[in-house]
Amino acid sequence: MAIKIDLRIKSKIENIYPAEREILNQASELGYDGDACFCLRLAMDEALVNAIIHGNRNDQQKNVRVIALCDDEKIAITVQDEGDGFDQALLVDPTKEPFLYKTSGRGVYLIQQFTHEIHFNDSGNSITFVVNKSHPPAVLQSR
């Protein structure tokens, strides 16, 4: 049975946490373990902060839409802002010089590491990522 959670939040950082809590509660009810919930929360944190700060430029009149499609096998989350988007080709690898010691620019990289799939829409103002229930992302398998 698939469950859809469709939320709109104003572009304020403190609005992130109730939205995340609702999705994480659903994940727990579906039997997702602590590792999967950790991955979901980390990815949601990064995507929502990026949407508010970079996409909507902290404009509290703008909304961020969060859609979670949850079932017994995976959770797919889409975060879409009202901004102009960005060109994914401009993303850099924060593990390489000269970006290694920068204090920003790691959000998308972290989402990639802690999820199983990641996709952007063509305009770059929407990201969708997937966490599978059955096995942790590769970054957690090396523990």
39: tokens are 């991955």
What are the domain boundaries of the chain? Answer: 3-134
**pLDDT of amino acid 143:** 58
Q: Tell me the pTM.
A: 0.93
**pLDDT of amino acid 68:** 98
For 59-104, give the DSSP string.
Answer: -TTSEEEEEEEE-SSEEEEEEE-SS----GGG---TTSTTTTT-SS
Q: How far is it, in rounded angstroms, from Cα 8 to Cα 55?
A: 15
Q: What is the CATH number of domain 3-134?
A: 3.30.565.10
Residue ranges of the chain with per-residue pLDDT less than 70: 142-143
Give the SS3 label for residue 11.
Answer: coil
Q: How far is it, in rounded angstroms, from Cα 43 to Cα 40?
A: 5
